[in-house]
Structures are given as structure tokens and as C-alpha cells.
A and B are shown apart, each in its own frame.
Chain A
Amino acid sequence: MANDKRSMIGARIAKELKDGDYVNLGIGLPTEAVNHIPPGVHVVFQSENGMLGVGPNPPAGSEDKDLVNAGGGYITALPGASYFDSATSFAIIRGGHIDITVLGALQVDQEGNLANWMIPGKMVPGMGGAMDLVTGAKKVIVAMEHCDKYGNPKVLKKCNLPLTAKGKVSVIITDMAVMELREEGLVLCEIAEGLTVEEVVQATEADLVIPCVINRF
């Protein structure tokens, strides 16, 4: 994905994070959000391998092999950080103590279902901590490209890949739009600068509820 798209999605994710939130960002695109947290907003990032208070990447030469994130990348610890074992880490996750998790997706659908852990016959990385995160976090945000690399929609009427969790997604942020799962359905809340509603609808398989006012981001 082009850097400007990553940055745009990261900036939009960051707007969802409120001062004081405990947040778990999935590997890859969701971590882009850390570069866009507004001044004055303090969030505590969890890494599910056993830490709260994840700080920025260390400068070259001062990496610590015992201080890594859930993707195996080197990190630092901010003042106030804590370390704990994996069972405690998942008690935090499953027990509803994480305010927001942001995860990537292969597919997401208009019922809030998410598929992001395997493509049968092709790729089986495993669910890792994703099923627990989606089950337990108070708010689940999916951040991804609107279409796959072949241009096929990833926001569907119904996921056809094995699910990560059922009906748990509440917000979808892509390079084209921000959509929210509400009682009336999947609502198109915002579209990216320079796009028309028709272009977003065209690139989306799901039935979108189109409100009278759609903001730009």
C-alpha cells in the first residue's frame, strides 16, 4: 500500500482513540495509528505478549532482545509500563479491559463478522491472539484497504472465509471510507477526500446505509 494511504488510515484510526484508553493494535497497518495520536491524548498500548505501556521503536544499537512486541519487533517501555505473563495478558484482553482493538482483515461483512486468520488451501498463519481480542475488546475496529490487490471488495454481505469472530466489529476504516455497524445496518459515515459516494458503493459488496450527511476524511 502506498505510504499516503497508510498514513491516511493511520490518522483516521487515531481519531478513534481517546485520552486514557487502553489500546491493542494489530500487526501491520493498525500500528500506523501511533504516528498520529494528537498532542494531549495519552493512550496506553498493550502488546499481547505481555506488556502495557509500549513505547516507540528503540534507536539502532540499543535494541533489547527481551523487549519485543507481538510481531517480534523491538520496542521500548514508557514510564508506567508493566510486564506480565501470557495468561494475564489474555485475561486483560478477554475480560473486557481493553477499550479498543484495531485489526487488519481479509474480509469483513455487514453483520460485523470478521475473517482474518486463514485462507483454506492457501495460507494458514493461525489466529494467534486475534480471536480473543475480537471477542473481548470493548470496541473492535477493522482497518484495511477497501479492496484486495485484485480490486475485489473486502467489505461483503457475508464473509466466506473462516471467521475470527461473529458480529463483533463496530467500525471499519479503509482508504475509501469509514463505516459503522449500527442498528439500521452498515452505515457509510465518511468518505475519503476526492471520492464520490457512488465510487465507494461500487467498491463495496455490502449493502450500505447512506445517511443524508456524509463527512469527508
Chain B
Amino acid sequence: MVKQITAAEAAAMIKPGSRLAIGGFLAAGAPETIIDALVEKNIGDLHIIVIASDWEDRGVGKLVVNRLVKSAQVSHLGTNKAIQAQMNAGEIQIELVPQGTLMERVRAFGAGLGGVLTPTGLGTVVEEGKQIVKVDGKDYIIEPAIASDFAIIRAHKADKLGNLTFSKTSRNSNPIMAMAGKITIAEVDEIVEIGELDPEQVCCPGVFVNYILKTGEV
């Protein structure tokens, strides 16, 4: 059984300075209730691992605007002027990671791998300082796994074992981030009894999930 908690309890668990893998893609499928609780409790010095920095008033953008983020591994900043301003002022450290590489590095950590080999980034600044290896005559960059302390994600339904279903394109990075959290907290639209989810519909098995809470329940 996973434990059902409130967003305030989730935020209390997350200490300043934690590394957070956060689900969502331009705020679609972002765990807004947990993000709001982190802002409310002013949990700062965070390192975030996320596809995009979203908008100033949606998704992880709210953490950035409230200056709770000290560093980020992220693939896209284009929709959030605040993060670009903080980066230019040297107030936030950014590692830009190609989106597919980011997903595989996060997945690798959750899957017990040290990293992945990818051709993405060859011949660009992404390969700088990294080891390049040949497999079957082709070059690949060695990209190390990305560790996180907590994954905070959003799903559609959870049963009380933490099995999750998702809705349309709000699935995106959520099942991947869920794998990588040493502790994974999922906020969901609906919590159902064990047996109510069709096992064929489960896109994130409950083994990856530790805590669940309902969206909007502070």
C-alpha cells in the first residue's frame, strides 16, 4: 500500500537543497498542487530535473519565479523569461540537455544503469568534456545517469497500491520521472480501490510510487 498524504505533508518531506525530478511538459501533466505547496513552504536551494521550465505562472515556472531553484537540468527554457534572466545574472546554474537524452539519463538512474550511449549532440557543444565511444563503428556520447532524491509527478488515477493511469499527452515524462525518484510522490485526479484499475491501462506500476495525494487537496 502507498500512503495517502496531503500536499503540505509532501512539501514538509522535501528538504531544502533536494534534487527533484519533476514530471510535465510545458506544464501539461505538471504536479501543480505539490509545486504550490513547495512555494507555500518556501522550500529553496532546489535542483530540478525537468523537460522545460514552463511558464512563470504554471508548472515549475512558479518555483523559478519564487527563487527556489538554484540549479536545473532541463531541455527548454524558451517559454520562461524569469529563468533566462536568472541564468544571465548567474543566479541559477543551468545544464541544457537534449530532451531525449534527458529522458534516458533519468530512466537510466531508475533502471539501475550508469548512463546511456547516444549519438544526439555529436559535433555540438553537448559532447564537450564527455567521453565518446565507438560501437559497431558508430560514435556515441557517454551520458551519465541523473540521480534524484524525489520524483514529483502527476497522473490521472491511482489505486491504493500506487498503480497509475494517465490522460492523453499529460503522460509525457511522468512515468519516467517516477522510476527515478528515491521517493516518488504522485498527485492524481482520482484515487480508487485496489482492483478498480484495469491492469492493461496501468502505465506506471505502483512499485515506483511511495506516496499519493489528490490534486487540489492542500
Contacts and interface: CB of A to CB of B under 8 A. Distances in A.
Contact of B122 (A51, A90, A135): A135
A94 interface: yes
Given A127-B76, A132-B100, A167 B123 contact: yes
B55 to A, nearest CB: 8
A118 B166 CA distance: 33
B52 A128 contact: yes
Contacts of A125: 76-78
Contact of A49 (B74, B121, B124, B169): B169
B75 A127 contact: yes
A124 B99 contact: no
Interface stretch (B9-17, B25-33, B36-44, B206-214): B25-33
A64 B170 CA distance: 10
Nearest to A117: B96
B124 A165 contact: yes
15 contacts: A47-B169, A49-B169, A67-B169, A84-B171, A85-B175, A86-B99, A87-B100, A91-B100, A125-B76, A125-B78, A127-B75, A128-B52, A128-B75, A132-B99, A135-B119
A67 B123 CA distance: 35
Contact of B124 (A64, A65, A162): A162
Interface in A91-138: 91, 93-94, 113, 124-132, 135-136
Interface of A: 47-51, 64-72, 77, 83-87, 89-91, 93-94, 113, 124-132, 135-136, 162-167
Interface residues of B, number: 44
Interface stretch (B62-70, B101-109, B129-137, B192-200): B101-109
Nearest to B100: A90
A65 B32 CA distance: 13
A194 B202 CA distance: 57
A86 B103 contact: yes
B184 interface: no
Contacts of B173: 85-86
A84 B176 CA distance: 11
